[in-house]
Amino acid sequence: MKYSYYALMNEEGGIYTISFPDIPGAISEADSIDQAILNAQEVLEIFMLMYENEGNEFPKGSSARELSQRLESDNDFIQLITVDTRIVRMREENKSVNKMVTLPKWLVELGKERQVNFSQLLQSALRSELHV
C-alpha cells in the first residue's frame, strides 16, 4: 500500500530534525536535506509496516495548510513523504531470480573482457530506472 504523510522539518546549524506530527514517535535527524528526506522515508516505512503488521488504525493525515500554520520559524518547512510498503516488503525478501536477457554478442564479449558483472549491472540499472 502507498501512504503519504507530511513531515515537519527544521534546519538549525546544518542539522535537520524530522518529525511526523500525525504519527507519534516518528522522528529522525540528518545533516543534509537529501539525507533528511531519506531518513523521513525510512521512518515512515517503519511506522507504516508496524501499523499494517499490528492491524492498528492509521492516523488521519493533516493537510499542508494545517501544518503550514504550525511552522514556528523560517527554518521550519513541510515535506510530503510517500512510501509503498509493498515495495518495502519485496526489498526485505530480496529473493534473487534468474532472468534471461538477450544482448548483442560483441557487447557480451566486451563486457567479459572488462570483467563486468552483468547481474550487478542489470540490478543497478533497474534500481536507477525504477527509482528504488
On whether the pTM is more than 0.75, the answer is no
- What's the helix, strand, coil split of the chain in %, to 5? 45, 20, 35
C-alpha triplet 61, 69, 58: angle, nearest 5°: 10
Give the Cα separation of 39 and 17 in Å (integer).
10
Q: Is 7 helix (H, G, I), strand (E, B) or coil?
A: strand
Distance (Å, whole) CA 100 – CA 94:
18
Residue 131 burial (C-beta neighbours within 10 Å; 0-12, 13-18, 19+): exposed
The DSSP H or E segment spanning 126 is helix 118-130
| pLDDT per residue of the chain (132 residues) written in tens, 0 to 9 | 999 999 999 999 999 999 999 999 999 999 999 999 999 999 999 999 999 999 999 999 999 999 999 899 999 999 999 999 999 988 888 777 778 888 899 998 999 999 999 889 998 999 899 988
Domains of the chain in sequence order: 2-92 (3.30.160.250), 96-130 (no CATH)
Contact 38, 25 (CB under 8 A): no
